[in-house]
Amino acid sequence: MNNKFSENLKKIRKDNNLSQEQLADEIGVSRQAISKWESAVAYPEMDKIIILSEKFNLNIDDLLHKDIREVKGEEESKKNINKHIEDFLNFITNTINMFCNMNFKSKCKCLFEQIIIGSILLVICLIIGSLGDSLLYSILDVIPDKLFYILHSIFNFIYVSFAITSSVVIMVHIFKTRYLNYYENLKKEVIETTEDNNLILEEVNNDTKKEKGNKINFKKNEDKIIIRDPKHSEYKFINGLFKGIIGFIKFFVLCFSMILFASLISLFCLLVISFLAIKTGLVFIGLLLAILSAGIINLVLIFIALNFVFNRKNDKKKMIWSFVISLIMFGVGIGLVIVGALNFEYIENDKSILKTDYMEIDMKDNLIFGYHYPEIEYIESNNENIKIEYTINKYCEINRSDLSDKVIHIWSSCENPMKLVKEVINNFNNKKIVSINNQLQDIKIYTTKENINILKKNYENYTDVEVQHQNTINAYEKRINELYQTIDEYAEREWEYQEEISNLKNQLSMYENNEE
């Protein structure tokens, strides 16, 4: 046996503030025996060593052969690490429990406050960082560039690490002080109240056994806690900002509900209009289901929006069931529309709604016609003027505009759209989808051969001028883009030259300092 035991015995006795006589009484030996053990003159029997190790919670091998303070230091270090890990896990557990038991408004308020605090810390860190960066540039400006960038990167990494760590610590401390501590006190009050009233004791015990942890579940939704209540202090500016943002959100939700009201009215109008297509069978039934389901979804969204604005509770079950059933109805309706539409006939050009008409124009040597309709058929005839024959929708009329003394433009317009709508509805009920084209078709010009040549030549000259004009515009645009690119290149060169001038000035100042 070495001298470690005697040294350890002295340390144990002094650490526990015991005299030799007190230690001897506790072990059941004389004071002289303790003195001999500490001076390594004599050694205790094995039963006494076992008593010492059990009394001071030590390993026999550590007591006899190791430095007891080093062993205790290692144990304390392990205990501290375990305690930190346990505290961190408890913090996460309590945070989750608190959020689960908070009402919606308190959750929003808590998150909003953390965002505000984080934003303030971020602004402070950015200001300090920018000031520190400027100071660092002024101090380290004389050293070479490579060394400067290395030192700048090191300082930047140190500052960012410190800023992130300190900000997280501050936010966690404020969160724990303002919310978690309050939640723990409130949780104790709830448990004590429940035990005194003997109302939900069994449920709390069952939930505690199931969770096997620190989690506390309140019995009903009415027991959701409100953080923070009026009895506790608040940051007034955060509370004001929170109320302002909530009011701003409510205003936009109210505006959105007005849009929903307008869409609901439109859906009711569409519902009435859909009865015009009652002869289409499955298509009509599908439209009816789809419109009704869209209206119900619209109503659900309106109720949710208005309840949020006026702080009313939603009947969640009814809302969810209404929404789900409406979606199913909408899908069934769209499916019926697709199935019914398969029996429809698509007609691209229906000759029954077209009519052929003509107009006459006096011939002029500089007359230009057809620049909007290049595909024109010229037919020789004895007509000295110009006779223009065209096909148009029978519900539309021809219009003419003389853009100048020589350029003539004609087009069609439907002055009575209700006739077209009625035609579309009739075709739809007959399971036909007819392409309604209101453009001029099959344009033919009847005139003499000389007039035809003049018209073609005038048209070609006019288009050549237009092409040249467009080419000129394109050339100018291209040149402008090239000049912009040149400006960018010169700006980049200017920046490079300024950087080079700055480096040369630094070198010149270094040479001047060396000469001095």
| DSSP letters for 364-386 | -TT-EE-SS----EEEE-S-SSE
* 121/87: higher pLDDT: 121
- Determine which helix (DSSP H) or strand (DSSP E) holds 400, and give its type and residue range: strand 397-402
* 5/483: higher pLDDT: 483
Nearest to 5 by CA among 39, 31, 32: 39
pLDDT of residue 466: 67
Pairing of strands 407-413, 368-369: parallel
* 186/190: higher pLDDT: 186
pLDDT in tens, 393-413: 777 777 776 655 667 777 777
pLDDT in tens, 10-47: 777 777 788 888 888 887 888 888 887 877 778 777 87
Chain centroid to CA 491: 37
DSSP assignments along 41-68, one per residue? SS---HHHHHHHHHHTT--HHHHHHS-H
State the Cα–Cα distance between residues 455 and 443, nearest whole angstrom: 15
Look at phi and psi of residue 369 and say left if phi exceeds 0, alpha if psi is from -120 to 50, else beta. beta
DSSP assignments along 329-377, one per residue? HHHHHHHHHHHHHTT-EEES--GGGEEEEEEEE---TT-EE-SS----E
Identity (one letter) of the amino acid at 377?
E
pLDDT of residue 331: 92
Instruction: Give the least confident one: 153-157, 272-276, 342-346, 368-372.
Output: 368-372
State the Cα–Cα distance between residues 445 and 389, nearest whole angstrom: 6
Asked if residue 106 has pLDDT above 80, the reply is no
Percent pLDDT > 90 in the chain is: 5
pLDDT of residue 456: 82
pLDDT of residue 395: 72
Give the range with max mean pLDDT: 202-211, 345-354, 446-455.
446-455
**Mean pLDDT confidence for 259-275:** 89
Q: In the structure, how many helices (H) and strands (E) does the chain have?
A: 15, 9
pLDDT in tens, 209-246: 444 443 334 434 444 444 444 444 444 555 566 677 67
Q: What are phi and psi of 354, to 5 degrees?
A: -105, 150
Asked if residue 470 has pLDDT above 80, the reply is no
State the Cα–Cα distance between residues 181 and 329, nearest whole angstrom: 50
Pairing of strands 407-413, 397-402: antiparallel
Instruction: Give the least confident one: 105-114, 277-286, 428-437, 462-471.
Output: 462-471
Average pLDDT over the chain reads: 76
pLDDT of residue 228: 47
Q: What are phi and psi of 414, to 5 degrees?
A: -105, 100
The confidence band for 461, taking pLDDT boundaries of 50, 70 and 90, is confident
**Mean pLDDT confidence for 324-334:** 92
**Mean pLDDT confidence for 124-135:** 84
Asked if residue 115 has pLDDT above 80, the reply is yes
∠ CA 132-137-140 to the nearest 5 degrees? 115
Instruction: Give the least confident one: 122-131, 393-402, 424-433, 494-503.
Output: 393-402
Asked if residue 53 has pLDDT above 60, the reply is yes
CA atoms within 13 A on the CB side of 25: 4
**Mean pLDDT confidence for 333-356:** 82
Asked if residue 328 has pLDDT above 90, the reply is yes
Side-by-side strand order, sheet with 407-413: 368-369, 407-413, 397-402
Q: In the structure encoding, which two tokens stand for residue 316, read together? A: 């969640």
User: How many other β-carbons are positioned within 10 Å of the β-carbon of residue 471?
Assistant: 10
* 486/89: higher pLDDT: 486
- Determine which helix (DSSP H) or strand (DSSP E) holds 289, and give its type and residue range: helix 282-309
Asked if residue 425 has pLDDT above 50, the reply is yes
* 500/63: higher pLDDT: 500
The confidence band for 510, taking pLDDT boundaries of 50, 70 and 90, is confident
Look at phi and psi of residue 28 and say left if phi exceeds 0, alpha if psi is from -120 to 50, else beta. left
Percent pLDDT > 70 in the chain is: 77
Asked if residue 125 has pLDDT above 60, the reply is yes
Counted residue by residue, the chain has a size of 516
Instruction: Give the least confident one: 195-204, 419-428, 483-492, 503-512.
Output: 195-204
